[in-house]
Every structure is written in C-alpha cells, then in structure tokens.
C-alpha cells in the first residue's frame, strides 16, 4: 500500500471526501482467526461450529502530508444498534521488526494499534505483546471520523508521522507493515473472535 | 490451587427472605454508576425462576471436564428495579393518580416471582434461596477469560475480577453456570461478589452474613476443624453445594430446608415432605434425603432434651461462633472516620449541639470510627 504525499490532509479527514473517491483503494483479504488459536477452552468450545470473521475483505487507501498520515478503510457490514458489542476495526503497525501478526506481537516486539469502535468517538491506542496481552499503548496524536452509508462503514484514521518509545514508526520516505483486525458486533465478535489480514502488508510512505 | 478456601454455609431452614443481606451488600458495594441493576447477593423464592430469570437453563460450567457454552444474561433478564411515579401521586395534584411503574414496559424486577413458590393448596410451598458468587474451586469464569483478568486468591480462594485488566468481553458471564457475574455498561467491565475481601483480610466477616437477622450464614475456612464450615460440610455433612453437576466445585453450601408434611386428599398429614424431596435433589444433589433425615433426627433428640452438637451449631446461640476467625467488628479495623450528622438544636431545645463524630446512639464521649454494615 502506498501513502501518496499530498499538499494538505484537510479534505482527507472526511470519509466521504471526493478526494478519496478519486483514489483506487487496495483490496485487503481477511480471514477468521483460527479457532485453535483462541486463548481459552471456553471460547473454543462455545464458538465451535458458529461462523465468525466472515467479512471477506476491506478496502484501504492512504495519504500523508509530511506531518500526518490519513488512512481510509471501507467494508460491508453495519451492525446497527441494539447489540452487546460494537462493530470495530483495529489498524496494526509494528513498533519493531515484523512480529507474527496472528500472534499479536511478542514481548520484545510489540504491535502498536489504533482501535476504532462504532460506539466511541475516539480511538483507543493499544500495545499488544501477545494474544490476550494488550494494554494501553504509547500515546500518539491521532483521530478518527466514521460514517455508515447503507451497509458500508467508511472510517478515516489519522495519525502524526514520527516514532518514539512504544510508538510504531511512520516516516516519510520509509516502509513499514500494516495489518487489520475487524469485529462484527451483530455476531457478538470480540477479543480473538474476529477477521484479520493474515500477514503484514507493506506500507510505503512517499518521501 | 489456593492454599486455603474461605467458604459460606447458608441454612435454608432459617432464611426469612427479608433481603437484609441484599441491602447490606448493595449499600456497601454496588452503589457506583452502572451498578444499579447489580445485586451481588440475591434472595429468590424457590421453586421459581430466580435471578437472572431462568438462570438454571442458561448453560455454562463444565460437563465431563469440558467447558460448556452458556448464555450471557441481559440486564432485562437480571431484572431492573422499577421506577415509580411517586412524585405524581404525592405532589402532582391529581387525586385519581395511582402508584404505577414508569414506562410502558417496565419489565420483570429482579425478585419477580417472590413468594409464589410451587404446589397447590393445601400443599403450596416455597423457601428462600440466597445466592452469592460461589468462589468456585474450578471457576468457569476464570477459565473462560481470554485476558486472564480473573484470579483466585492463593491465600483464601476468593475469586476476583481485575477491573483494570478486564476488557468487557463478557465470556465470564456466559461461562458462569450460576450467572452471578454482572456487566457495568458505563465502566465497561464485568463485576461480581468479592466475598467482602477487604473485610475478610482484616478479620471481619462479610456484610451479608454479619447483617443477617436470621443467622443463616456461616463463614470460615473449609479446612478449619474448629470452624463452622468444616463442621457442617465435612464433619456433620449436612451442607451441600448448589448444582454440583455444573462442575465448578462451588464453595457456598446449603443446609436444605425441612418442610411440614404433605396433606392428602382427606386432609390428613402424610409422611411426605411438602417441599418435594425430588425438587430439593434437583438443586442440592442425591444426598438431600440423608441430610434431611439427619437434621430431623437431631432436632428430635434436641426436643427430647438430649445434647446435639449439630443443633447447637445450626441454632447459633453465640452469634460470633458463626464466623470462624472473622469475628472482628468493622469498627475495630476501620481506617477512616465517618461523621454522623445530627440536626442542630432548635430554639428552646435544651440539648447541646452535637459534634462531628459523635456516637449515633448518644453514648457520651464515644466517637466512632467508620462503622459499616
């Protein structure tokens, strides 16, 4: 995925901006996290035979202006109101190296995540060092705008470029990896019951 | 595995259904926002649907050692206390206004089927079943949590949820077969009975047991041969777990209730108990007949003037003997002072103005530290 450099991010902050429509988003294939990787016997047992993580793909495009990065993600499946768990999407960036995405990082190679969920106005910043080992992550200036159009979510994440202790590097002219995790609230999806993007996707930011 | 296990025995022959335990717990632990629907301690009428309604049909626990899928109870299933139109009736200026719940569909309250029970006259029957978290030896909630946010204390076996670590996934609610875990929608964490561990740590028994006017609840360590729990569970073997078949090894035990004789069609007393023994077996397991027989036998001995250690224990003449090592008064261990408010004397009132911290019973010179239930 390429993050093209643009003069200003102002218009790109809106998920319905014409600027996004003019870009060709990348298809990101998703798959359900394996049942055998669910961390407790209860979860394995109770979800055995029940479909989850069925959203096949999402579309993503991004830009940056030298100071800030904007990522627009869209996918089909809006749960609506009245469910115990919200629709949610997490964007994963490696702090160091490329730990196995499916294992949610490792102690010496955490994953820095920005998590949006439909019932919150702000992102949650998470640092994950393994399955079930996520904590609040290092603070970084970020934001989100989301809207549901018919059955499609359109979500724009923004984050400042740069790096720091515990903050995944995002630097103009550099490459890193990006991953996604998607929860469908109407299906009670939460924790490891989700769809994810299998492996890191290369993310190259224009100089 | 915990080194010791603190446990509770509830003698169902003595429960009045007064809900003092429920209020004591509510006042102490579940007053924060998001907790209004929470009753970590409940007392329901049996036979009945309980709290949450029909919890015994909601799954969870273990079967042959395998975790079983369970239902996650909703707030509506737990039952919310009704809001009434008190202001309209009392101050609304409408003589015809009647007291009624607010809203078109107030739902079923948490103690919806109180005192309904089972059977038909003259054999109608019921008893009260108080319930708290069972602080199980094999907690299904702990095993289900992907965050490892639930732990069982090594020193006393109390099962606790670390709210800082809980992400509100609520697998614990599904897995607990007793459905004694609640969800705080505002704080986005699961919450439940903590067996009053801050009191237990200081040698004070739980609020529900200390406040019980019926002297229903015994508290102590399971392995303490001098304590009431060991005596009732292991020595006299009259206290039984609720739904042991759920496979979690609960650490709250019940002395099953005796009942008057069943009346036959001619109006004569029979040898059968009015509360069907089969029903009690469905709750407390196959040892119920043996336990009921033993209590009956010991009761008869006591009535004849013979000594019965079991009856003495169950009657609990010495209140503090019910609480094993947890006999301290909350006042002895309180770390903060509570100031008791008294209305200042009005004109012509000869009483002196009270000072903050004055004894609410009016004992001169007594200043209380924070008494809690």
Q: Is B306 helix (H, G, I), strand (E, B) or coil?
A: coil
- B143–A43 CB contact, under 8 Å: no
Confirm whether B1 is domain-assigned: no
Cβ atoms of A83 and A186 closer than 8 Å: yes
Give the mean model confidence (pLDDT) for residues A54-59.
97
Confirm whether B104 is domain-assigned: no
- B67–A39 CB contact, under 8 Å: no
- Can you give the pLDDT at residue B362? 35
From its phi and psi, is residue B278 left (phi > 0), alpha (psi between -120 and 50) or beta? alpha
- B171–A45 CB contact, under 8 Å: no
Q: How far off is chain A from B188, nearest CA to CA, in Å?
A: 11
- DSSP 8-state code for residue B30: -
What are the angstrom distances between the C-alpha of B308 and each of A1, B9, B130, B313, B359? Answer: 82, 19, 26, 9, 41
Question: Does B346 lie in the same domain as B211?
Answer: no
Architecture of domain A2-201 in CATH?
Answer: Sandwich (2.60)
Q: Is B91 helix (H, G, I), strand (E, B) or coil?
A: helix
Longest CA span, chain B: 76
| Dihedral angle, C-alpha B64, B66, B69, B71, nearest 10 ° | 70
Question: Does B67 lie in the same domain as B124?
Answer: yes
Residue whose tokens read 């801050």: B198
Q: Give the pLDDT confidence of B115-173 residue by residue, as tens digits.
A: 999 999 999 999 999 999 999 999 999 999 999 999 999 999 999 999 999 999 999 99
Token pair in block for residue B177: 């077969």
- Can you give the pLDDT at residue B338? 54
Angle subtended at Cα A168 by Cα A167 and Cα A171, rounded to the nearest 5 degrees: 115
- Can you give the pLDDT at residue B84? 92
B174 contacts in chain A (CB < 8 Å) = 42, 46
Question: Does B115 lie in the same domain as B173?
Answer: yes
Question: Does B148 lie in the same domain as B248?
Answer: yes
Token pair in block for residue A92: 């994963």
CA pair distance A151, A192, nearest whole angstrom:
24
Question: Does B75 lie in the same domain as B215?
Answer: yes
pLDDT band at B356 (very low <50, low <70, confident <90, very high): very low
pLDDT band at B103 (very low <50, low <70, confident <90, very high): confident
Cβ atoms of A39 and A131 closer than 8 Å: yes
HEC per residue, chain A: CEEEECCCCCHHHCCCCHHHHCCCCEEEECEECCHHHCCCHHHHHHHCCCCCCCCCEEEEEEEECCCEEEEEEEEECCCCCCCCCCCEEEEEEECCCCCCHHHCCECCECEEEEEEECCCCCCEEEEECCCCCEEECCCCCEEEEEEEECCEEEEEEEEECEEECCEEEECCCCEEEEEEEEECHHHCCCCCCCEECCCCEEEEECC
| Closest residue by Cα to residue B289 from B303, B269, B272 | B272
Q: Is the CB of B340 inside 8 Å of chain A's CB atoms? A: no
Question: Does B299 lie in the same domain as B356?
Answer: no
Cβ atoms of A181 and A90 closer than 8 Å: yes
Burial of A131 (0-12, 13-18, 19+ CB in 10 A): middle
- Can you give the pLDDT at residue B361? 39
Question: Does B274 lie in the same domain as B340?
Answer: no
Q: Is the CB of B144 inside 8 Å of chain A's CB atoms? A: yes
Q: Is the peptide bond before B122 cis (omega within 30 degrees of 0)?
A: yes
pLDDT for residue B360 is more than 70: no
Token pair in block for residue B267: 């109006």
- A40–B146 CB contact, under 8 Å: yes
CA pair distance A192, A131, nearest whole angstrom:
8
From its phi and psi, is residue B78 left (phi > 0), alpha (psi between -120 and 50) or beta? alpha
Q: Is B240 helix (H, G, I), strand (E, B) or coil?
A: strand
- B174–A46 CB contact, under 8 Å: yes
Q: Is the CB of B175 inside 8 Å of chain A's CB atoms? A: yes
- DSSP 8-state code for residue B48: S
pLDDT for residue B370 is more than 60: no
Domain extent at residue B370:
334-373
CA pair distance B122, A36, nearest whole angstrom:
57
Q: Give the pLDDT confidence of A84-121 residue by residue, as tens digits.
A: 999 999 999 999 988 999 888 999 999 999 999 999 99
- A40–B145 CB contact, under 8 Å: yes
Confirm whether B93 is domain-assigned: no
Query: What ipTM describes this predicted complex?
Result: 0.94
- A191–B146 CB contact, under 8 Å: yes
- A190–B67 CB contact, under 8 Å: no
- B146–A41 CB contact, under 8 Å: no
Give the rounded distance of the alpha carbon of A170 from its chain centre. Answer: 15
Inter-chain Cβ pairs, chain A and chain B, closer than 8 A: 46
Q: Give the pLDDT confidence of B255-314 residue by residue, as tens digits.
A: 999 999 999 999 999 999 999 999 999 999 999 999 999 999 999 999 999 999 999 999
Cβ atoms of A121 and A143 closer than 8 Å: no
Number of domains making up chain B: 2
Question: Does B48 lie in the same domain as B28?
Answer: yes
Strand partners of residue B159: B152
Confirm whether B228 is domain-assigned: yes
Token pair in block for residue A21: 């429509």
Domain boundaries, chain A: 2-201
Question: Does B174 lie in the same domain as B41?
Answer: yes
Nearest to B144 among A42, A134, A192 (CB): A42
Residue-wise burial string across B173-207, b where 16 or more C-beta atoms lie within 10 A, e elsewhere? bbbbbbbbbbbbeeeebbbbbbbbbebbeeebbbb
Question: Does B169 lie in the same domain as B21?
Answer: yes
B144, B146, B185: best to mutate for the A interface, most A CBs within 10 A: B146
CA pair distance B223, B225, nearest whole angstrom:
6
Burial of A149 (0-12, 13-18, 19+ CB in 10 A): exposed
CATH value at residue B302: 3.30.70.20
Question: Does B362 lie in the same domain as B248?
Answer: no
Question: Does B349 lie in the same domain as B281?
Answer: no
Residue B139: closest C-alpha in chain A: A42
Cβ atoms of B106 and B120 closer than 8 Å: no
Q: Is the CB of B146 inside 8 Å of chain A's CB atoms? A: yes
pLDDT band at A132 (very low <50, low <70, confident <90, very high): confident
Give the mean model confidence (pLDDT) for residues B30-52.
96
Q: Is B72 helix (H, G, I), strand (E, B) or coil?
A: coil
Q: Give the pLDDT confidence of B212-235 residue by residue, as tens digits.
A: 999 999 999 999 999 999 999 999
- Can you give the pLDDT at residue B340? 55
Strands B66-67 and B159-161: unpaired
Nearby residues of B322 by Cβ (< 8 Å), 6 or more positions away: B205, B209, B215, B217, B218, B219, B228, B316
A41 contacts in chain B (CB < 8 Å) = 66-67, 143
């Amino acid at each position: 995925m390429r993050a093209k450099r643009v003069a200003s991010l102002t218009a790109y902050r809106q998920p319905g901006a014409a600027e996004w429509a003019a870009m060709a988003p990348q298809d990101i294939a998703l798959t359900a996290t394996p049942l055998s990787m669910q961390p407790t016997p209860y979860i394995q047992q109770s979800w055995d035979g029940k479909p989850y993580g069925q959203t096949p793909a999402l579309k993503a495009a991004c830009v940056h202006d030298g100071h800030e990065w904007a990522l627009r993600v869209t996918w089909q499946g809006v749960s609506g109101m009245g469910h115990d768990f919200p629709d949610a999407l997490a964007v994963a960036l490696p702090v160091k190296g490329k730990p196995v995405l499916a294992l949610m990082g490792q102690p010496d190679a955490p994953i820095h995540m920005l998590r949006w969920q439909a019932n919150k106005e702000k992102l949650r910043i998470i640092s994950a060092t393994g399955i079930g080992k996520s904590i609040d992550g290092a603070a970084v200036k970020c934001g989100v705008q989301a809207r549901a159009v018919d059955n499609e979510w359109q979500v724009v994440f923004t984050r400042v470029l740069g790096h720091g202790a515990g903050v995944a590097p995002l630097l103009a002219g550099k490459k890193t990896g990006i991953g996604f995790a998607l929860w469908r609230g109407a299906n009670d999806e939460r924790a490891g019951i989700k769809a994810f993007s299998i492996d890191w996707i290369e993310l190259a930011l224009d100089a | 595995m915990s080194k010791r296990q603190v446990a509770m025995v509830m003698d169902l022959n003595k429960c009045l259904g007064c809900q003092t335990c429920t209020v004591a717990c509510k006042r102490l632990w579940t007053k924060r926002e998001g907790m209004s629907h929470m009753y970590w301690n409940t007392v329901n009428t049996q036979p009945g649907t309980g709290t949450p309604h029909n919890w015994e049909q909601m799954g969870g626990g273990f079967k042959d050692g395998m975790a079983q899928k369970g239902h996650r109870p909703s707030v509506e299933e737990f039952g919310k206390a009704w809001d009434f139109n008190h202001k309209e009736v009392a101050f609304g200026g409408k003589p015809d206004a009647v007291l009624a719940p607010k809203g078109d569909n107030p739902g079923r309250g948490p103690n919806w089927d109180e005192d309904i029970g089972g059977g038909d006259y003259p054999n109608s029957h019921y008893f009260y079943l108080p319930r708290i978290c069972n602080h199980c030896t094999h907690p299904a909630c702990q095993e289900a949590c992907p965050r490892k946010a639930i732990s069982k204390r090594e020193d006393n076996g109390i099962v606790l949820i670390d709210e800082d670590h809980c992400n509100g996934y609520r697998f614990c609610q599904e897995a607990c077969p007793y459905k004694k875990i609640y969800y705080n929608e505002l704080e986005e964490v699961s919450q439940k009975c903590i067996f009053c561990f801050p009191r237990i740590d200081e040698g004070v028994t739980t609020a529900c047991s200390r406040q019980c006017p019926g002297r229903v609840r015994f508290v102590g360590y399971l392995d303490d041969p001098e304590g009431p729990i060991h005596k009732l569970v292991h020595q006299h073997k009259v206290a039984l777990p609720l739904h042991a078949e759920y496979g979690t090894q609960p650490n709250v035990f019940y002395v099953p209730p005796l009942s008057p004789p069943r009346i036959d069609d001619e109006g004569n007393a029979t040898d059968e108990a009015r509360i069907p023994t089969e029903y009690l077996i469905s709750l407390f397991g196959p040892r119920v007949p043996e336990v009921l027989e033993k209590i009956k036998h010991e009761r008869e001995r006591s009535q004849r003037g013979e000594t019965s250690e079991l009856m003495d224990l169950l009657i609990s003449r010495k209140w503090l003997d019910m609480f094993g090592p947890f006999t301290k008064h909350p006042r002895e261990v309180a770390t903060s002072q509570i100031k008791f408010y008294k209305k200042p004397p009005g004109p012509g009132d000869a009483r002196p103005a009270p000072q903050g911290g004055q004894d609410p019973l009016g004992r001169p010179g007594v200043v209380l530290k924070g008494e809690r239930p």
